[in-house]
Each structure stands twice: as C-alpha cells, then as structure tokens.
Amino acid sequence: MRTTALAHIAVGVVVERRRARSSWANFLWRPLSVFVGSPAAAPWTPLGPEAGTETTAFYAGQAAVELHRTETANYRDNLASGSPAVWVALRPTASGSSYELAAVTVDPAEGEGFTDAGNNLVDQVPMPDELAEIVRQFVVRHHVDRPFIKRKRDGKAFARGIQGASCD
C-alpha cells in the first residue's frame, strides 16, 4: 500500500482483557498502553494476569504510527493539550470473541475517524515521552502555518439555487 507519510514509527500495543459482569459478553477489552519499538514477543502474547483480579494484559502486536506533513497542526494541538494521547483501534475478529490490532495514530482527527467504522473498539492511551519527542521534532521540522482564508459566496449562484425552490 502506498503512503505519503514522511515518517513511520514502530510502536507496540498492550491491551487489557477483563472478565465482564454481563450475560451478553464474556470479556471487555481496552487498549492499555503503547511503547516505541517492537519486542521479540509474538502478537497476542499474554503478559500475565494481575494478581487478585480477573484481568489479563496482552501484547497485541506492532503497528506503525505514520506522520504526514499536512497534519502537523493536529499533532501540535495534541502535544499542547497537556495530556498527549495515542488513539488505538481494535477490530473484532471473525469469531467476535476477540480483537485484532487495526491502527494506531497520534492525529486526533484520524482517531475520531476510527470511530466511524461500525464495531471497532477505539480508545486513547497516554502518549509515551519518547514518542512525544519524535512527534515534537517532526512538527518543528515540517510545520508551516497556513492562514485561514474565508471563501466568499457567489451571490448569483446562490440566487439561482433559491429561484427554483418552492415553499410548498
């Protein structure tokens, strides 16, 4: 697949599976954290249950955070928010009993866009300092302020559209 990204950052994703207290689902899943790099562990390796709980953490696998120069304003806003975040999207598997890693982004607009796709589980996790520094350096290197230019309406085209309308 071809991409226009100028930078690709390998990140590992950790998710949590918790026993549900529901008759409709056996488990609840949620992204727990991300880290820069890729460990030697295979995807969906259990990281061990938490003592005294019905919760297990898993290394879900590796994903690539792509950085595009046209999205630097979104990255900058994320970093300036006071609590920079990473959005993780998990897609249900065919069996419906578990999830697969779909995507990871540091762009808030793209993260919101992940929620449009039906049954995907999308949540944000804190951005690790190492990733925040990489994103910060990318913004410094590639950000260009673009002035907002308000478009003016063409009054004639607007009037033509109203003439044909009826008020029945």
Number of domains composing the chain: 1
Distance in Å from the first CA to the final CA of the chain: 51
Is 143 among the domain residues? yes
Is 74 among the domain residues? yes
**The pLDDT of residue 152:** 77
pLDDT in tens, 13-55: 999 998 888 888 788 899 999 999 988 899 988 887 776 678 8
Mean per-residue pLDDT, 132-142: 93
Is 168 among the domain residues? no
Is 1 among the domain residues? no
Q: Is the predicted pLDDT of residue 66 greater than 90, yes or no? A: yes
Is 72 among the domain residues? yes
Estimate to the nearest angstrom the gap between the alpha carbon of 17 and the chain centroid: 19
Residue identified by tokens 């460990």 is 39
**The pLDDT of residue 139:** 92
Q: Model pTM?
A: 0.81
Residue 74: give the domain boundaries.
7-163
Give the pair of three-digit tokens for residue 168: 């029945």
